[in-house]
Amino acid sequence: MSAGTEKIAVTVTDVVAVNDLVKRFRFVRSDGGPLPTFSGGAHTVIEMKDGDVTRLNPYSLMSDPRDQNAYTISVRRDDQGRGGSLFMHRNVKPGDQMVLSYPVNLFSLDLRAKKHLMLAGGIGITPFLAQIKQLSAMNGRFELHYSVRTKALGSYVDELTGKHPEHVHIYYDDQKQAIDLEHLLDGQPLGTHVYVCGPKGMINWVLDTAKRLGWPDEAVHSEEFLAPQSGKPFEVYLAQSKRL
């Protein structure tokens, strides 16, 4: 993930409830300096001091990658999760001091693409928010297909459809709307790259369909927003300093 990257001390400036499940957090550097720029799709790892436990959760940065004043993230509350999102929802308030890692990008745009086709499911929208800001600034060609459960839970739907009415398509699960994936992938011009971020089932659906339709692996990108299962704890012996 992001082990070993440098850390940044930040202050929480805003906590906004986007809807029943999602809250948005805005961070500025505690020392007042500029934050590093990043590239769309990057995430930061947030350190949460939850009593005796330190939780490390990665969240995609959704702010403009060129904006060095602040980082924003959106956190979906997961009542069955390991507890990081609940901590963010319940405990984090404006004025809190927190520690973030430097941005790390494992889901970057391939800028050689002639067109970027983005498929988002639920909170998987967050990396695309930054990527769309990045592409808009450089006149990049993109098309977003965003699947949400209901109108009320569609985070940032209005913002996206308002700013990019020609390039954003929304699908509401409760209205039985679904991405017509086969047709969508089939009609893409040469040089299109597809990006998918969402639940595992959606990612596998896109990867499998793209493969069957003959898309090269190099043009298919994905990021799952669930944290991987943590491994078993182990001890490390440092050979030079002879310490455990």
Phi then psi for residue 201, to 5 deg, are -60, -40
The reply to whether 192 sits near another protein by the rule CB under 8 A is: yes
The reply to whether 211 sits near another protein by the rule CB under 8 A is: yes
Exactly one of 100, 144, 185, 202 binds another protein (CB under 8 A); that residue is 185
Q: What gap in Å lies between CA 230 and CA 83, rounded to an integer?
A: 14
**Of 17-25, 35-43, 168-176, 208-216: span binding another protein (CB under 8 A):** 208-216
Q: Smaller CB distance to another protein: residue 140 or 199?
A: 140
**Of 6-14, 16-24, 106-114, 236-244: span binding another protein (CB under 8 A):** 106-114
Exactly one of 31, 79, 217, 235 binds another protein (CB under 8 A); that residue is 217
Exactly one of 32, 95, 189, 201 binds another protein (CB under 8 A); that residue is 189
Residue 190 contacts residue 115 (beta carbons within 8 Å)? no
Length of the chain: 244
**Of 12-20, 149-157, 170-178, 206-214: span binding another protein (CB under 8 A):** 206-214
C-alpha torsion angle, residues 71, 198, 211, 184 (rounded to 10): -90
The reply to whether 188 sits near another protein by the rule CB under 8 A is: yes
Q: What gap in Å lies between CA 192 and CA 194, rounded to an integer?
A: 7
How many Cα atoms are found within 13 Å in the side-chain-facing hemisphere of 176? 0
Query: 69: which DSSP letter?
Result: S
Q: Smaller CB distance to another protein: residue 81 or 140?
A: 140
Q: Smaller CB distance to another protein: residue 31 or 217?
A: 217
Q: What gap in Å lies between CA 14 and CA 8, rounded to an integer?
A: 18
Query: 16: which DSSP letter?
Result: E
Exactly one of 34, 94, 162, 191 binds another protein (CB under 8 A); that residue is 191
Strands 220-224 and 168-172: unpaired
How many Cα atoms are found within 13 Å in the side-chain-facing hemisphere of 78? 14
**Of 29-37, 44-52, 127-135, 209-217: span binding another protein (CB under 8 A):** 209-217
The reply to whether 144 sits near another protein by the rule CB under 8 A is: no
Q: Residue numbers of the site for another protein (CB under 8 A)?
A: 112-114, 185-192, 211-219
